[in-house]
């Protein structure tokens, strides 16, 4: 038998009977390319009930990379784009967000601003979509303790495997800075 | 899968994804992952040890 056709009136219900013995009922659809299961109405399903992870390629897949304080990267004060870390996203529709923290490593005389965001290269600017920027109101406040800020969620719709960098820039004068943080992505569809 | 890799510049990247484990990667438990991400612990010679230079607390000099 090459196929089974389920037919009924338009308001009918299709019910899969429970297995005769204890087990999981599974409805398997063809896995060939182009197979799309379409439901024009509300889709109801449970999420995972444990601390597992979605498989690569599935909705819910999670990718993250973290540079902790102990591996902080030199970011300086010259306003130079620096890659903190990166993630690799396969083709799909992703939500990407992050966090960046930095602190002074010497006598900082002036801190003008700091920015960070996700970018496909080191070309981050203040005009880059989704970039987060901070400008301190009191330079003396941050010289001993770092400043951290969140990078808002931004959609990354990619047609092929793409590297997304966590890029940061710190601009000021005197001393230097180190930075650390995380970039993460969730496959949303 | 949670794991750590040592970059060419010597920095430790702490990663999580569903890709096949990379060559040289050190697989982490959930607890080890959280410890490393906190900055309170570091990876040294393949072992997770207390960071002798942890992130500063607010108000600390």
Q: Answer yes or no: do A145 and B60 touch at CB < 8 A.
A: yes
**pLDDT at residue number B50:** 96
Those residues whose C-beta lies under 8 Å from the C-beta of residue B50, and which sit 6 or more positions away, are B40, B41, B42
Those residues whose C-beta lies under 8 Å from the C-beta of residue A32, and which sit 6 or more positions away, are none
Chain B residue at shortest CA distance from A86: B13
Q: Answer yes or no: do A70 and B12 touch at CB < 8 A.
A: yes
Chain A residue at shortest CA distance from B42: A70
d(CA B28, CA B4): 7
Q: In this structure, are residues A103 and A146 in contact, taking their beta carbons and an 8 Å threshold?
A: yes
Q: Answer yes or no: do A103 and B18 touch at CB < 8 A.
A: no
* Triad A9, A13, A14: Cα angle to 5°: 105
| Nearest in space to A92 (alpha carbons), one of A167, A36, A155, A43 | A155
pLDDT in tens, B34-44: 999 999 999 99
**pLDDT at residue number A146:** 80
Higher pLDDT residue, A16 or A103?
A103
Token couple for A96: 């990407």
pLDDT in tens, A125-150: 999 989 999 887 665 545 556 889 99
């Amino acid at each position: 038998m090459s196929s089974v056709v389920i037919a009924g009136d338009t308001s009918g219900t299709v019910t899969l009977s429970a297995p005769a013995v204890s087990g999981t009922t599974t409805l398997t659809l063809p896995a060939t390319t182009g197979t799309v299961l379409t439901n024009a109405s509300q889709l109801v399903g449970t999420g995972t009930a444990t601390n597992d992870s979605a498989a690569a390629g599935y909705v819910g897949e999670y990718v993250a990379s973290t540079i902790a304080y102990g591996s902080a990267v030199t970011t300086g004060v010259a306003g130079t784009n620096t890659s903190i870390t990166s993630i690799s996203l396969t083709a799909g529709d992703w939500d990407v967000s992050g966090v960046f923290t930095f602190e002074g490593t010497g006598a900082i005389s002036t801190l003008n601003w700091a920015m960070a965001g996700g970018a496909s290269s080191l070309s981050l600017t203040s005009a880059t979509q989704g970039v987060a920027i901070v400008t301190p109101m009191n330079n003396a406040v941050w010289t001993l303790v770092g400043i951290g800020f969140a990078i808002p969620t931004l959609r990354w719709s990619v047609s092929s495997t793409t590297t997304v960098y966590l890029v940061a820039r710190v601009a000021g004068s005197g001393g230097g800075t180190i930075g650390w943080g995380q970039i993460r992505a969730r496959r949303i569809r | 899968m949670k794991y750590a890799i040592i970059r060419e510049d010597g920095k430790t990247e702490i990663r999580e994804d569903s890709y096949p484990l990379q060559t040289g990667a050190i697989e982490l438990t959930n607890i080890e992952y959280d410890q490393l991400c906190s900055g309170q612990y570091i990876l040294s010679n393949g072992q997770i040890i207390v960071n002798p230079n942890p992130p500063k607390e607010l108000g600390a000099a």
